[in-house]
Chain A
Amino acid sequence: MRPADAYDYLVETRGQLFNRVSRLSQRQYTREFPFARHSIRATLVHVLDSESWYARGPRAPGRS
């Protein structure tokens, strides 16, 4: 069981998620909900932002 396998699955499902999100109007994309990051846009950006931080942030010994 490798992290890359689990990540590949996430990327595949992300494609399906984006297909649905891409059909939303701007109003739907930014509509407020009383949970999570309050809008689909803000919640998706949070996922991207976190992934970006973890991918470049922590540095293991020997990893540049």
Chain B
Amino acid sequence: MMGSEQGFTPIAFYEYLADARRKLLDWVRPLTLEQYTKEFPFGKKTIRDTLVEIPRAEWSYGTRLIGESPSAEHPFMKYYKTDFAPLEGAWRDLADRTRRILREERDWSRMVEWRPPAGVVSTRPVIMRASAGGIAIQMMLHEVHHRAQVMAMLRQLGIPAENLDYSILKFERREVPA
């Protein structure tokens, strides 16, 4: 990584998420459809629904960052009804879009306002307001939150899904003489 891609920057954080996501999806890929859709009493109830929630929100927050409104025809809704393979390909394309959006942002303190569709945030009409940086923080912590739920589900299926820590994936380590 170079320059702005190091340290505490949105793109640096996103690259870590993308690395961790590759490992997460490696654990999900071999699941049967039955395991992928098995019900658990937490998260979004199934690995599929909890996983789809992540790119669904990523697409929406990215759309807000470029000043557009998410359309009613959300491109990720269909993956609530498919097996895993098509989701993985679509998510890879989304990651390229998100990287581009994060790299092109010039002012993380600029404020963004939007009016969510009725019923999404509140039963009454509301205007939402956040900084561009705040939207990026929400997008990324949202993935960490739901990723942890997927990992807990995988563990209950007997898959040792663990160690996606930033320190494990991104800290440098070098051997020293004993």
List chain A positions with a Cβ less than 8 A from chain B: 1-3, 5-6, 9, 34-36
Contacts and interface: CB of A to CB of B under 8 A. Distances in A.
B89 to A, nearest CB: 29
Contact of A34 (B131, B137, B156): B156
Interface of B: 8-10, 108, 131, 133-134, 136-137, 141, 151-152, 155-156
Nearest to B10: A1
Given A1-B10, A1-B108, A36 B137 contact: no
User: Chain B interface mostly helix, strand, loop or mixed?
Assistant: helix
B136 A34 contact: no
A2 B131 CA distance: 12
A44 B151 CA distance: 17
16 contacts: A1-B8, A1-B9, A1-B10, A1-B131, A1-B133, A1-B136, A1-B137, A2-B8, A5-B133, A5-B137, A6-B141, A9-B137, A9-B141, A34-B156, A35-B152, A35-B155
Given A1-B108, A1-B136, A9-B141, 7 more contacts: A1-B133, A5-B137, A6-B137, A6-B141, A34-B155, A35-B151, A35-B152
Q: Which 9 A-B pairs have the closest CB atoms?
A: A1-B133, A35-B155, A35-B152, A1-B108, A3-B8, A6-B137, A34-B156, A1-B10, A35-B156
State the main secondary structure of chain A at its contact with B: loop
A5 B137 CA distance: 10
Nearest to A13: B141
B145 to A, nearest CB: 10
